[in-house]
Structure 1
Amino acid sequence: MERKDHMDAIGAAALIAFALHLAFNQVVIKVTAGGFGPVFQAGLRSVGAVLVLYLWMRLRGVSFSVPRAARAGGIVSGLFFALEFMCLFTALDTTTVSRASVIFYSMPVWLTLIAHVFFPGERLTPAKIAGLLLAMAGVAIALADRGGGSVSWAGDLLALTGALCWAGIVVCVRITPLSEVPPAQQLMFQVLVSAPILLLLAPFLGPLLRDVQPIHIAGLLFQIVAIASLGFLAWFWLMTIYPASSVASFSFLSPVFSVILGWLLLSEDVAPSVWAALVLVASGIYLINRKPRALA
C-alpha cells in the first residue's frame, strides 16, 4: 500500500483491532502461566518466534545480513527485550491483568520524558506535560492501591520495569544504526538474543512446567504466531503506511481493553481506584501522542 499522510477508516479499524489483539494477549499470558513458568514461557515464545520469522523472511526474500555497525544496537535491544518480557510475564503471574496492564502501558510516559532529554526535536509541549501529569497520577494511584488479595508490590514494580525496558528498546533503535535495519531484522535480533537468556534464567526462577494442558499449549502457540512474530510485523507494517503519531495515538486503547478483558474473561475484581488509574493513564497517553492542530 502507498504511504498515507492521514489516518483513514481502514487504518483506524486495523489499529483498534490490533490494540484489542494486544490486550487479549495479556489474558493469554496469564492463562498460559498455568502450564508453564512465566520466564520459561517467555523463552519458549522467543524460540518459536525465531522459527516463524526465519520462515517468513525466507519466503519473502528478506536478507539476514545486518550491517556490522547495527549489530551492537541489535544486541542491546535484545537484552532490553529479554528483561522486558521476563518482567511482564512474571508480573502477570503475580498480579491481575488489569493492574499489570495499566502500569505496563504507561511506556509512552517514560519514552516522552527520555525523548525530551535526548531528542531535540521532541521537546515537551503543554499538551504533553498535561498528558504526563495525568498518566503519572494514574500510575501513582495504581501503585498506591494495596487492597485486594491479588495485589503484589513485586508484580507492580516488575510491570513498571517492563515498561521502562520497552521504552529502552525504542530509544536504542532511534540512537543507533539499528534504525536503518528493516523491521523484520530488528525483531529477529530481539527474539534471537532474548531466547537463550530467558531459557537459561528460567530454571533459577521457579518450576519450568506446571500443570500443562492443551489450553496452555494453544496459548503459547498463539503468542508465538499471532504476537511475537507476525503480530509485531503487522505493527511495523502499519507504521510504514500511516503517520507514526497517528499510529501511536491508538496505544491508549490497549490498557483500556486489557482491563475490560481481565474483568470479563478472568472475572478479575477491578477496584474503583484501578478504573480511575486507567482513565488517567489512557487520557495521558492520548494527549502525549495527539498531533498538534495547525493554526488557521
Structure 2
Amino acid sequence: MAPSRDGLSESRYINQPRQPQYGGMSSHRKPADGFALATMVVLCAIWGMQQVAVKLAAPHIPTMMQMAVRSGLGALLVGLLCWARGERGLLRHGPWRPGLLVGVLFASEFLFVGEGLRHTHASHMGVFLYTAPVFAALGLHWLVPSERLRRTQWLGIAVAFSGIALAFGGGWLRGGISPGVLWGDALGLLAGLAWGATTVVIRVSSLSDAPPTQTLLYQLVGGVALLLPVALLTGQAGPISMAPVAWASLLFQGVIVCFASYLTWFWLLRRYLASNLSVFSFMTPLFGVSAGIFVLKEEADLSFALGAVLVLTGILIVSGSGLLRTTPALKPGAT
C-alpha cells in the first residue's frame, strides 16, 4: 500500500508509493546499479508486508483505525521533516484543489484496503491492490497525448484483466470461495482503481511539479482526516488492545512504510532512471503473496494463483514497457 509517488520522464506510471512528479534533476539520473537494485528489493519487501502487518494487528486494533493511525503518524513525521528543513506552509500555499482530490483518493484507497482486509486474505489484497498501474495506464491514455498506450501495453492490460477474471471467477464457479472473500477481493480492486486515479490526478495537475513532501502530505493528511471519522462512525475505533504485535504493526506502517520507505523511494527517483526502477515493481505483490502464505498460513487457491500470475505478468508488461521506449514522456509520469 503505498502513496502516488513520482513517475519521472522515463516512466509512465510506477507502481510504488504515490509519487509526486518532482522535476529538475532529469539530467543527473543514471541507470540503476547494484545499490539501487538492493534498495528496491528491500522497499518492495516492506511494501509487500503491509497487508500482513494489518492482518496481524487486526485482533488488537480494528483495520480502519489502523489505516487512520498510520496516516496520522506518517503525516506527523513528514510534517516534522518539512519543519526541520524550513519548508513551511506546504499545504496552505500549494495547489490545494488537486491536493484535496488526491487526499480524498488516498483515503478512499485505504478505506477499501482496511474494509477489504476484514473479509479477504492479505495475499489476495496484495495482488488486487497492485492492479493500480493498469488503471493508471488507461486513464493517462485518454487524458495525456504523450501517454498513449502501445500495442504491447494493450496486451499487458488484456492479460491483467484476464487474470482478474480468473482470480475472481474460478473459485466462485467451483464454489470454493465464500462471498465474503469475493467482496474483500472486489474492495481490493477498488483500492487499486483509487490508487491508479491518484496517479492520473498527479500526472495531469500542477502536483506534477510539486515537491515530493508536499504531495505526500496532502495524501497523508487527507487519509487521517477522512479515515478517522469513518472509523468512529462505523464502530471501528475500538476496542484497542496495545499488545506488542499491535505496537510493532503500527510503528512498521507509520514509521517504516509511510515515512522512511516513501522518502527513500523519492530519493531513488531523483538519482536513477525511473524506467529502470519501475521494472522491479512486480516484486511487491510477490512479496505480499509469499508473506500471506508463509506468515499467515493462507491457502493459495489454484484459480487465484493462476489469475495472480496473469495479473502480475500484465503489470510487468505495462509498467516495464518504458525500458523499450526510445523517446521519453514529456513529463514525469504510480502506486
Please indicate the TM-score interval, normalised by the length of the shorter structure: over 0.9
Q: Map 1:179-218; keep pairs closer than 5 Å.
A: 179-210=208-239, 212=241, 213-218=243-248
Residue of 50, 61, 71 corresponding to 1:25: 50
Distance 1:194 1:66, change over 3 A: closer
Alpha-carbon separation, structure 2, partners of 1:109 and 1:20: 21
Equivalent residue for 2:17? none
Query: Contact 1:19 / 1:251 at 8 angstroms: preserved in 2?
Result: yes
Matched AA of 1:73: P
Instruction: Give the secondary-structure state (helix, strand or coil) at the position aligned to 1:44.
Output: helix
Q: CA deviation at 1:293?
A: 6.0
Query: Contact 2:160 / 2:314 at 8 angstroms: preserved in 1?
Result: yes
CA deviation profile, 1:76-102 (whole Å, cap 9, x unmatched): 110001111011121122110111111
Query: Contact 1:103 / 1:142 at 8 angstroms: preserved in 2?
Result: no
Distance 1:187 1:293, change over 3 A: closer
Structure 1: 4+ residue segments shifted above 6 A: none
Alpha-carbon separation, structure 1, partners of 2:113 and 2:69: 15
Equivalent residue for 2:185? 156
Alpha-carbon separation, structure 2, partners of 1:129 and 1:56: 41
Alpha-carbon separation, structure 2, partners of 1:122 and 1:33: 40
Equivalent residue for 2:85? 60
CA deviation profile, 1:40-69 (whole Å, cap 9, x unmatched): 111111111121112222233334335756
Equivalent residue for 1:250? 280
Alpha-carbon separation, structure 2, partners of 1:150 and 1:229: 35
Query: Contact 1:135 / 1:282 at 8 angstroms: preserved in 2?
Result: yes
Instruction: Give the secondary-structure state (helix, strand or coil) at the position aligned to 2:99.
Output: helix
Query: Contact 2:282 / 2:312 at 8 angstroms: preserved in 1?
Result: yes
Counting matched residue pairs gives 295
Equivalent residue for 1:221? 251
RMSD over equivalenced CA pairs, Å = 2.1
CA deviation profile, 1:143-189 (whole Å, cap 9, x unmatched): 11232459523211111111111111111111111222110111111
Residue of 288, 292, 296 corresponding to 2:324: 292
1:272 aligns with 2:302: yes
Which has more helix, going by share of residues? 1
Alpha-carbon separation, structure 2, partners of 1:95 and 1:218: 22
Query: Contact 2:130 / 2:285 at 8 angstroms: preserved in 1?
Result: yes
CA deviation profile, 1:202-225 (whole Å, cap 9, x unmatched): 122233224622211220111110
Alpha-carbon separation, structure 1, partners of 2:251 and 2:92: 32
1:36 aligns with 2:61: yes
Alpha-carbon separation, structure 1, partners of 2:268 and 2:102: 21
Instruction: Give the secondary-structure state (helix, strand or coil) at the position aligned to 1:250.
Output: coil
Instruction: Give the secondary-structure state (helix, strand or coil) at the position aligned to 2:59.
Output: coil
Q: Which consecutive residues of structure 2, in runs of 5 or more, have no partner in the other structure?
A: 1-24, 327-335
- How many percent identity over aligned positions? 30
CA deviation profile, 1:13-34 (whole Å, cap 9, x unmatched): 1112111110111210111222
Instruction: Give the secondary-structure state (helix, strand or coil) at the position aligned to 2:145.
Output: coil
Equivalent residue for 2:118? 93
Query: Contact 1:102 / 1:139 at 8 angstroms: preserved in 2?
Result: no
Alpha-carbon separation, structure 1, partners of 2:226 and 2:324: 42
Equivalent residue for 2:101? 76
- More displaced 10-residue stretch of structure 1: 183-192 or 56-65: 56-65
Query: Contact 1:98 / 1:274 at 8 angstroms: preserved in 2?
Result: no
Matched AA of 1:108: P
Q: Map 1:170-185; keep pairs closer than 5 Å.
A: 170-185=199-214
1:231 aligns with 2:261: yes
